[in-house]
Amino acid sequence: MLSTLCSGGIISVKAAIIDAWRLELEARLAAATAGQKTAQSGTRVDGSHRPANRGERGAVTAQGYLALGLGQRAQALAEHLRLLDEVGTEPREAVVVGALVRLQIDDAPPKRVAILPGGDATWLDTGPNQGSHSVQLLSASSPLVRQLSGCASGDIEEIVLGGQVAQVEIIEIS
């Protein structure tokens, strides 16, 4: 069973993972927003802040592109947060967005994967013992999830990972 006991009673591991991922996305959003503001301040060209040569003009242009990129990243993070709010913690019966999957690839030890918006292969540790409750966060567009999409508990699939054929067993889905 993928749940853990806490002082407030039984709390879903999935809810803890979603909460931890939300905090991580919020921190990334704050950093991107702050970086965008800093980069925008480097694009100021008025009064005595006019670039004097080609190098300075290039630096102002680079700051503008950096501000644009960080703004786009902030928008993507905000969208991931919006979608995360819609995921919910109800159990899943297949490999889909919102599923917490325990799987085994070839003869490697089993691992847990959470399929969540914005998942980028980040590893989160949601338990009191380091490593004991590690889960890898993947998006629905990750190569592993795309190939296992729709699989159920007990399914064994051959997929291609890193150019190699691998056998994946879906041990449990919640």
Within 13 Å and on the Cβ side, how many CA atoms surround 166?
18
Q: What is the mean pLDDT of residues 153-166?
A: 95
Which residue ranges does the chain devote to CATH 1.10.287?
Answer: 3-87
Beta strand pairing call for 164-173 and 156-161: antiparallel
Give 100-173's CATH code, choosing from 3.40.50.2300, 3.10.50.30, 3.90.650.10, 1.25.10.10: 3.10.50.30
Which residue ranges does the chain devote to CATH 3.10.50.30?
Answer: 100-173
Which band of pLDDT confidence, cut at 50, 70 and 90, is reported for residue 57? confident
For residue 2, the model assigns a pLDDT of 43
This prediction has a pTM of 0.81
Q: Has residue 77 got a pLDDT over 90?
A: yes
Q: Has residue 46 got a pLDDT over 80?
A: no
Average pLDDT over the chain, rounded to an integer: 87
| List of residues 6+ apart from 89 with CB closer than 8 A | 12, 14, 15, 18, 98
Q: What is the mean pLDDT of residues 86-105?
A: 95
The closest of 14, 32, 33, 4 to 116, measured between CA atoms, is 14
Contact yes or no for 92/153 (Cβ under 8 A):
no
For residue 127, the model assigns a pLDDT of 65
pLDDT per residue over 115-136, tens digit each?
Answer: 999 999 999 987 655 545 799 9
Residue 126, helix vs strand vs coil: coil
For residue 128, the model assigns a pLDDT of 59
For residue 166, the model assigns a pLDDT of 96
CA-CA-CA-CA torsion sign (20, 136, 110, 100) = positive
Which band of pLDDT confidence, cut at 50, 70 and 90, is reported for residue 12? confident
> Distance between alpha carbon 156 and the CA centroid of its chain, in Å?
25
Contact yes or no for 96/149 (Cβ under 8 A):
yes
Give 3-87's CATH code, choosing from 1.10.540, 1.10.287, 1.20.1330, 3.40.50: 1.10.287
